[in-house]
Chain A
Amino acid sequence: MNIFTIPISNIRRKLTKTMLLILVFSLGVMSIAALLQVSLVVGDSLERKLSAYGANIIVAPKAETLRVSYGGFHMGDMLYNVEDLDEKGTISAIKSIELKERISVVAPKLVGTLDVGSMSLAAVGVRWDDELGIKSYWAIDGQIPQQPNEVLLGHRAAQKLLLKPEDLLPVGDSLYKVAGVLEETGGDDDQVIFLGLSELQTLLRKPGSISFVEVAALCAGCPIDDIVTQIRTQLPGTDIKALQNIVNQRMASIHFVQKLAFSISLVILLTAAAMIGLSMLAAVNERKKDIGILRSLGYGKSHIFIIFCVEAAIIGLISGLVGYSTGYAASFKALDILALSDNFQPIFSMVQLLGAALLFGSVTVLASLYPAWKGATIDPSEALTSLS
């Protein structure tokens, strides 16, 4: 028997009412836990999906630009002193940075021109697996080249050359089979011929050389700037650009989902807290008699305050435990219904469970501070007038 006996006994006496309060608050906690779990999983899933939509860091050789104009006529900028990068050295340098686990794809490329019949066309040598890693949006009529003598044509390049899948493409003295033709992308990919990197290096007589590297490194809160800095340190002679717009756009999509979930959670939390506060306020009015008795027995304001706060904390702790557990279970069902999870699953964490109990225990105590204070400051004589 101690001061906790009083709130615990009151909870036991009003078990139905307390259970109802715990149920309502647990539903709030459950919604919050489920929303946060879903947003984390969806954010993770979305992040992976978005990262498949291209690179966000470009590693290119340093080049000098010369503006060419004469007599007021501008003829554009001219690059000079452009040197290719070493394929192996560049890739291994990128993959050795401290934040290497944040990098999902490293796609090296060699760019050049090829004479096809009477036309000169841009050609890009790629590693097919890496390229598909950052260009999962490609839709191909035909298939991805499987052999060194196969090529993939951009939509407009195929139109210019009047070629379709399975046709043959004459380049110099060799014939290449058109394995597939890209559906229109609306970008640079439409204009070019894609070949295997080694094949183009041979054709252009640039063994082991690459023109630039596209790097995909996207994750929620991913430190893109740090990754760029680390690559720059590893490759001092290169020009490294973070495509901030793309990064920010993707991050914004992920953060939007998480902020939305957070905002909804906050509204639910505030509503639940207000309910607890109102309930405690009603309890204070109901229990003026008890307060009067306790004050007449020498209980101080702090004792009355503690009794109401402990009662609120018990409700919050139980609601936190029940709400987190049921929210965790509900998140599976929500992900199932929304079909958003892919292969990602919510993670049950004991630390989160205890954290939820403590957090919601604190929230209920905070929501009950005013009612508890009101109860504590009731004048004993005022409480006594409600005794008869």
Chain B
Amino acid sequence: MKDILISGRRLTKSFQSEDKEVTVLNDIFIDVYKGEFLAIVGRSGSGKTTLLNVMSTLVRPDDGDLFYQGKNLLTQQPSELNLLRKTDFAIVFQFHHLIPYLTVMQNTLLPYMHSIKPVSKDLIQRAGHYLTKIGLGDKLNRLPGKLSGGEQQRVAIARAVVKSSGVLFADEPTGSLDKKTGEEIMDFLQQLNHEGMSIVMVTHEPAYAARADRVIELSDGALATPPLSPLHFTEVEEMVA
């Protein structure tokens, strides 16, 4: 039996929109297993990104419980959650979100630049190794503005990977990329997953969802039941094709 890494129970989240309250997540139950590649799919506005943000502790739910390795994260202090995001969680956004005035190397090492103590040589070497591995070895001192969209997304992933995090949360990591670059990124994510990293990915691309071990679909803030298998998406993709 697989170990549960993250477990969400009755997760509920609402936002105030103009004069009315909009429920984005409604009584969600979700488990993420250690080492699995989970895809969250759903139409635009279905609550995928909010669920990812809740699971990665960036957004606090209004109700419910969120466990990571058995600890309820919603009872943790903000400083403990900061530490968790610093060490165990890594987040990749759709628009890569690199700091525009930091170089590729600095952006990659950003998780380690939070103190007066300089980043160690070991970490610099490790970042250089990953960046070289993803084809950016000759662009270490470039600013993000001088990179293509795919390269920027690779830097964002390298930033997530260099931390040796336990879980990678990826919000539409291929959303702003062309198909070829998107495939490359997906290959890279799968490779990371094979190396042991748990991945929770939000996507609306059936083809990419099909690469995950498991897929869950959200519809109007609730889980579509029963949970869908990747096979379903393979079939959908074939139908679309």
Contact = CB atoms under 8 A, between A and B. Distances in A.
A387 B97 contact: yes
B114 A299 contact: yes
B116 A6 contact: no
Contacts of A289: 97
Interface stretch (B100-108, B180-188, B190-198, B224-232): B100-108
Interface in B72-111: 78-79, 82-87, 89, 91, 93-95, 97-102, 105-106, 109-111
A387 B116 CA distance: 27
A18 B146 CA distance: 23
Interface string A272-316: 000000000000000001101111111111010000000000000
B134 interface: no
Contacts of B22: none
A1 B113 contact: yes
Given A294-B110, A298-B82, A3 B59 contact: no
Contact of A298 (B93, B98, B114): B114
Nearest to A307: B114
A296 B91 contact: yes
Nearest to B13: A381
Contact of B113 (A5, A10, A13, A292): A5
Contacts of A256: none
Interface in B24-66: 53, 56, 58-60
Contact of A384 (B53, B84, B101, B102): B53
A100 interface: no
Contacts of A4: 116
A4 B117 CA distance: 10
Contacts of A81: none
Given A297-B85, A381-B59, A3 B101 contact: no
Nearest to A382: B59
A6 B101 CA distance: 8
B55 to A, nearest CB: 13
Contacts of B119: 1-2
B115 interface: yes
A4 B105 CA distance: 15
B70 interface: no
A297 to B, nearest CB: 5
A112 interface: no
Nearest to B100: A13
A174 interface: no
B58 A3 contact: no
Given A1-B109, A296-B85, A296-B91, 18 more contacts: A1-B105, A2-B113, A2-B117, A2-B119, A3-B113, A4-B116, A5-B106, A5-B113, A6-B99, A6-B113, A9-B101, A9-B106, A14-B101, A294-B110, A297-B159, A298-B87, A299-B82, A380-B58
- Which 5 pairs show the lowest CB-CB distances between chains A and B? A298-B86, A13-B101, A298-B85, A381-B59, A300-B82
Interface of B: 53, 56, 58-60, 78-79, 82-87, 89, 91, 93-95, 97-102, 105-106, 109-119, 124, 159
Interface of A: 1-6, 9-10, 12-14, 289-290, 292-301, 303, 380-381, 384, 387-388
